[in-house]
Amino acid sequence: MIALWVVLGLIVVLGIFFVLNYNSLVALRNQMRNAWAQIDVQLKRRHDLIPNLVETVKGYAAYERETLEAVTNARNLAVGAVGKGVGAQSQAEMQLSGALSKLLAVVENYPDLKANQNFLALQEELTSTENKISFSRQYYNDSVLGYNNKTQMFPSNIVASMTGFKQGEFFEVESEAERAVPKVSFTQ
C-alpha cells in the first residue's frame, strides 16, 4: 500500500516537473518568435522608407545616380529575401545597411538637401529605424540565448528533447566566416 502511494507521488512530482518545464520552454520559444516578428516589422519599415528617401535625394543630388541605384537594388534584394530564412535575410539586410550608410555619407556634400525639412524628417526616421533594427536584433539574440540555454541545460533539456524543441538561430551581424563558429559555447 505504501509502495503504491510512493509510486503515485513520484508520478505526480514528475508530471509537475514536466509541465512546468514544458510551459517555460513554450514561453521562451514564443518570446523568441515574437522578437523575430519585431525585427521583421522594423525591416519592413526600412523597406518602406527607402523609395521616399531616394526620391527626395534625387531632387538635390541627381549626379549620385550610382549610389542611389545601389540603394534601390539592395532594397529590392532585401524585399526579395523576406521569408527565406534567418541567414539569407540577415545577409541581404546587411548589404542594404552598407548601401544606405554610403548614401548618407554622400549627402554631406549637399548643404541644400541637408537643410530640407522633408529630408531631415526622413533622416530621423531612418536613423531611428536603424536603431530599432539593431535593438530588436539585440533582443532577439538575447531571447535565443535564453531559449537555447533552457533547451540545453539540465534538467529542462530532458523535456526539450522529449518534446522536440529545436535550437534557435542567432541573427548575426558578423561576417560569414564568424557565423560558422557556434555561438553557444559560453553557456556553461
Partner 1 sequence: MMWQQIKSNQMRSAVLVAGMLALLALIGYFIGLAFFDNGVAGLVIAIIIWMVMNLVAYFQGDGILLGLAKARKIEKEDHPRLYNVVEEMKIASGLENMPDIYIIDDPALNAFATGRDPKRASVAITSGLLQKLNRDELQGVIAHEMAHIKNRDVMLMTFCSILLGTIVILSWYATHLLFFSSMTGGRRSSSGGGGGAQLIILAVGLLLMILAPIFAQLIYFAVSRKREYLADASGALYTRYPEGLASALEKIGASTYELKSANKATAPMYISNPFRKKGMAASDLSSTHPPLSERIRILRSMAGGASFAEYDAAYMKVHGKGGHVISENAMAGVGAVGLRPASSEGALAEPTKVERTREVSDLMWRKNEYRTIDCDCGTRLRIPPKMKATKVRCPHCGRIHQL
Closest distance to partner 1 from the beta carbon of 22 (Å): 17
188 vs 171: CA distance, rounded Å: 21
CA dihedral 112, 66, 80, 141 (to 10 degrees): -70
58 interacts with partner 1 by CB under 8 A: no
Closest distance to partner 1 from the beta carbon of 175 (Å): 16
Instruction: Pick the closer one to partner 1 by CB: 11 or 115.
Output: 115
90 interacts with partner 1 by CB under 8 A: no
- The Cβ of residue 105 has, within 10 Å, a number of other Cβ atoms equal to 10
Using the structure block, give the residue that is written with the C-alpha cell 539586410.
93
Length of the chain: 188
Closest distance to partner 1 from the beta carbon of 60 (Å): 15
Closest distance to partner 1 from the beta carbon of 104 (Å): 5
Closest distance to partner 1 from the beta carbon of 117 (Å): 12
Q: What is the DSSP string of 44-74?
A: HHHHHHHHHHHHHHHHH-GGGHHHHHHHHHH
164 vs 55: CA distance, rounded Å: 49
Instruction: Pick the closer one to partner 1 by CB: 83 or 111.
Output: 111
Among 18, 22, 31, 49, contact with partner 1 (rule: CB under 8 A): 31
150 vs 153: CA distance, rounded Å: 5
> Count of residues binding partner 1 (CB under 8 A)?
32
**Candidates 13-21, 35-43, 49-57, 157-165 — which segment interacts with partner 1 by CB under 8 A?**
35-43
CA distances from 14 to 100, 116, 145, 163, 170 (A): 54, 66, 26, 15, 32
Among 73, 118, 128, 161, contact with partner 1 (rule: CB under 8 A): 128
38 interacts with partner 1 by CB under 8 A: yes
Residue ranges binding partner 1 (CB under 8 A): 31, 35, 38, 42, 101, 104-105, 108, 114, 120-121, 123-125, 127-128, 131-132, 134-136, 138-139, 142-143, 145-146, 149-150, 153, 186-187
